[in-house]
Structures are given as C-alpha cells and as structure tokens.
Amino acid sequence: MSSVSSLNSTLLGASSALDAFQYALSVTQNNIDNASTPDYATQTVDLQAAHFNPTVGDGGGVSDGPLLDSRDLLAESDVWQQAGLQGDASAQLSALTDVQNAVPVGTGAGIPAALNTFFSDVSAWSAAPTSGSAQQQVIADASALAQSFQTTAAAVAGASISVTQNIGDTVDQINQLTTQIAAVNGEIQDGGAGDEGLQATLYSSLETLSGLVNINVLQHPGGSVDVTLSSGAALVMGSRQYALTAGNAPPPPGSTDPQAPPDIDIQAADGSVVNGQITSGSLAGLLQVRNATIPGLIGDASQPGALNTLASTLANAVNSIVTTGFVSQGPPPVQAPSGLFTFNAGSASSAASTLAVDPNMTASQLPAIDAAGVANGVPLDIGDLANSTQAALGSVGFTTFYGNTAAQVGSQLNTAQSNQTTTAQTLAQAQSMRQTVSGVSLDAEAANVLQFQASYQAVAKMVGTLQTLTQSLIDMIPDAS
C-alpha cells in the first residue's frame, strides 16, 4: 500500500471520528436541555469502533451507533403504583373531610346537641306536666331535632353530589389522557419510534394517568404502549382510545328501596361495569367514599344508612310512648291524637330527610299521662330513652350510635391522612429511584462533554498532523519543470 493511500485512509478515519464525537456532543446537549423535562429519560450514544487492518486498507476509527434509551419500565411501574396509592389516599382525604364536616360532633352542634336539648326539655316537662309552655317547648325541640336530622342528611347528600361531580371530572381527565396517549402512539407508529421527545410526553401522561386510576402498560418494540385496567379492560390499544363513563348504578334485584340514592358505576367502552377493577388512584378513592362511606350514612338501594336508622328508631321509640299516653283521663279519657314524629316509612333511606313533627300533634294535645295513670309518665318514659339502648341500633343508645357513626368517618379520614403522608414519601422514593436509573445527571453529562471535547480536540490535532504529513509528502514530489 502506498504512503498516500495510507494517509488518506487515516484522514478519513479521523473525519469519521469527528462526526461521531460531534453527534455524541449533540446527544449530551439534548440531555442537558431536557434535564428538567418531566419523564425525559437520558439517552446515550453507543460509539462503535471501525475495523482496523492497515494491511488491507481498513483505517479503523469510530462511528456513532444507535441511541440507547435509559428508561426502565420496572422503575416506571413502581412510580405508577405509588402514584396510584397516593391519588387514592388524597382523594379519600379530601372527600372524607367534607363528609366529616357534615356529621358534626362539636359542642352545641348537630344531632347530638339537638338530642340533648330535646331530652332536657322533655325532662323539664316531666316536672311540670300540665305546663303549656313546657309542652310548647317540647314541640319546638322536636321540630328542631327533626330539622337537625334533615340538615345532616342534606349535608351528607351535598357531599355525595360533590364526590359524584369529582368522579365525573376524574373520568373526563382519564379520557383526555388516554386520548393523548393514543395520539402519541399514532405518532410513534407513524415513524416516531425512538423519538425521546414523544416518549417523554407518553410517559408523563402515563404517570399522570396512574395517579387517577390503576393501569397496566404493555410496551411494544417501537415504543408505543397499550394501557388497560388491572383486569384487562382496555383504555388505549395502539392509536385507539377506549373511553370510560360514569353513571348511576341501577338498583340491585330485589331491592326494597328502589327510590334510594343510587351508587355510581364506572363503565368501560364495551358497557361492562369495571368498579371492581379500579383499585387505586383518585377514582378508586372517590368511589370508595361515594359507594361505601356515604351510603353507610344516608343509605342506598341495599342499606338504609346509619342516619336513617337513627332517625326511624328514635321516631318509633318516642311515638310508641306518646301514642299510649293520655291528654286527660276524663271522663271520658282523651288519648293522644298521633305520635310526636312522622317520616316516610316507605323508603328506609329517606327517614332522616323526611323526619318532622307530626302535623296532627299540637302542644295542647301532647299527652303527659301514661297508661298507668302517672301524671308525668309519658315525659318520664321519653326521658328514659336518653339513657336506653335500642336493639335496632345494635344495643347502644341514640347518642352512642351517632358517636360511633361519626367515629367511623373520622377513623377513615385518619387512615386516609396517614396513607397520604406515607404514600407521598414512597412516591418520592420511587421517583428518586427512577431518577437514579433514567434521569439526567448533570455531573455525568459534564463528564461526557469533557470526554467528547478532549477526544474531538485530539482527533482534530491528529487531522492537523496528517495534513502536515501529507504536505511533506507532496513537497517530496520533484518539480516537473
């Protein structure tokens, strides 16, 4: 092989190396540019050595290989799982705070205070059984107590409406995100494979989606993804999106209270109900409060709800005493015209919201004399209810039953608060782990810059040396003139 040919071969190799290092520097620059881009995964260049065998004319050198994506699906999946748990806890915390506020336990607030006032003034009536003002006060307190039940039931129903609205908004967000993911999938399938910009957009959407609902992700070789719920209901298949819808659940077969507030069903695109597949994310937390906690208070088609049970039990207990009492023993004896309370007995889930003083009962007709002829037997018996236990309430009294009901909400809220704190930490840890695996390290990129700069400069020097050698070789050629 001639000297000229060898120099040319070496010069070509150096030129190729300069191209490779320039390309590597541009990748590093792109990494640095996207250091703050959500869900951007660091890319690296796989530099590949060229064949080197001067005897056959292979001058060696280096060329840029394929871009390597540092994204780790295991780390992403861990982040999605923690984001789902945090979304669940945060949604429950927010919704349960509204529910707790609807069931007050403060001094002088809500049903407990109204119960205390009612029983106190019934007791006062027992000390002055024929006092018109005492009877009037009892009627007024009974009305206030009924109003308190109505107000509490309405407040819980208001919280229910708010949660239902949030469920609708969350489903809308899920559908927007799955639409975006399907669109990105389409771009990837249309030639965007390997585009880390598209991947960053895709995985950012997936992380946000995982905070709303639990997802399973299947990645295809080109980088597009299929997204399903945990048991397979499709959300995104390639470039096609499958929307979720939220609506009222029909009453279960055999329901004795078809007019009760309906639960909320989430339906997949094929119309199947997928509530059971939604196990984490904001949507799961909202469904838990909407379909379990709130019906536990104001009922649904399969249960009356604690407030309604309390209202109907109280009304029945008081009425059973009042209706056996006498306004006067006569002759002729004058019986009570009705019970003290009335409510819609035809719908177990509406007892609290319809509780009222029976319009047939007036203060002057409020009976004080019991069946045994005791002058204040009726108020004494009603007063005894304050400390009695009721079989319909699980063998506890009215106040304790309300307290237990409020405590259940408070306990759930505490659990949600604790879970939110814990999952915020575990989510940050998962994100940190992902950052370690696939995030942009400015230190590493700085080192790459130095390395590629040094290599580039060395090769440039080499090119200069080769140029000098080539010129020397050219100068050795005799002048033909």
Partner 1 sequence: MNIPSINPNFETFLSNLQQIENRMSTAEQQLSSGLRVSVASDDPDEISSILQLRAQIAGVQQTQENLSTVTPQVESGENAIQQAIQVLDTATSLATEASGSTSSASQMADEVPQVQGLLQQLVSLSQTAVSGQYIFSGDMSGQPQYTLAVGGNSVQQMFQAGAPPQVADSNGVMISIGLTAQQIFDDQVGGGPGTGNPAPDNVFAAVSGLLTALQAGNSASVQTALSNIQAASAHLNDESSFYGAAQNNLSAANNMASQTLIQLQQQLSNEQDADAAQSSLDLTQATTDEQAAMSAQAMLKPQSLFDYLG
Q: Could you give the string, one character per residue 28-47, with x where binding to partner 1 holds by CB under 8 A and - elsewhere?
A: --------xxxx--------
Residue 368 binding partner 1, by CB under 8 A: yes
Q: Could you give the string, one character per residue 127-146, with x where binding to partner 1 holds by CB under 8 A and - elsewhere?
A: xxxxx---------------
Residue 421 binding partner 1, by CB under 8 A: yes
Residue 427 binding partner 1, by CB under 8 A: yes
Query: Cβ 274 to partner 1, closest distance in Å?
Result: 22
- Which residue, 8 or 204, is less far from partner 1 as judged by CB? 204
Among 211, 285, 296, 304, binds partner 1 (CB under 8 A): 211
Among 44, 216, 365, 400, binds partner 1 (CB under 8 A): 400
Token representation of residue 86: 């945090």
Q: In angstroms, rounded to a whole number, what is the distance separating the alpha carbons of residues 101 and 99?
A: 5
Q: In angstroms, rounded to a whole number, what is the distance separating the alpha carbons of residues 54 and 73?
A: 44
Residues 269-298 contacting partner 1, CB under 8 A:
none
- Which residue, 40 or 343, is less far from partner 1 as judged by CB? 40
* 238, 185 Cβ separation under 8 angstroms: yes
* 223, 290 Cβ separation under 8 angstroms: no
Q: What is the DSSP letter of 300?
A: B
Other CB atoms within 10 A of residue 103 CB = 24
Residue 414 binding partner 1, by CB under 8 A: yes
* 167, 285 Cβ separation under 8 angstroms: no
Query: Cβ 398 to partner 1, closest distance in Å?
Result: 9
Query: Cβ 399 to partner 1, closest distance in Å?
Result: 5
Residue 80 binding partner 1, by CB under 8 A: no
Query: Cβ 50 to partner 1, closest distance in Å?
Result: 30
Q: In angstroms, rounded to a whole number, what is the distance separating the alpha carbons of residues 278 and 292?
A: 14
- Which residue, 37 or 302, is less far from partner 1 as judged by CB? 37
* 72, 438 Cβ separation under 8 angstroms: yes
Token representation of residue 75: 């780390």
> Counting beta carbons within 10 angstroms of the beta carbon of residue 133, is it exposed (0 to 12), middle (13 to 18) or buried (19 or more)?
exposed
Residue 255 binding partner 1, by CB under 8 A: no
Q: In angstroms, rounded to a whole number, what is the distance separating the alpha carbons of residues 266 and 278?
A: 9
- Which residue, 301 or 382, is less far from partner 1 as judged by CB? 382
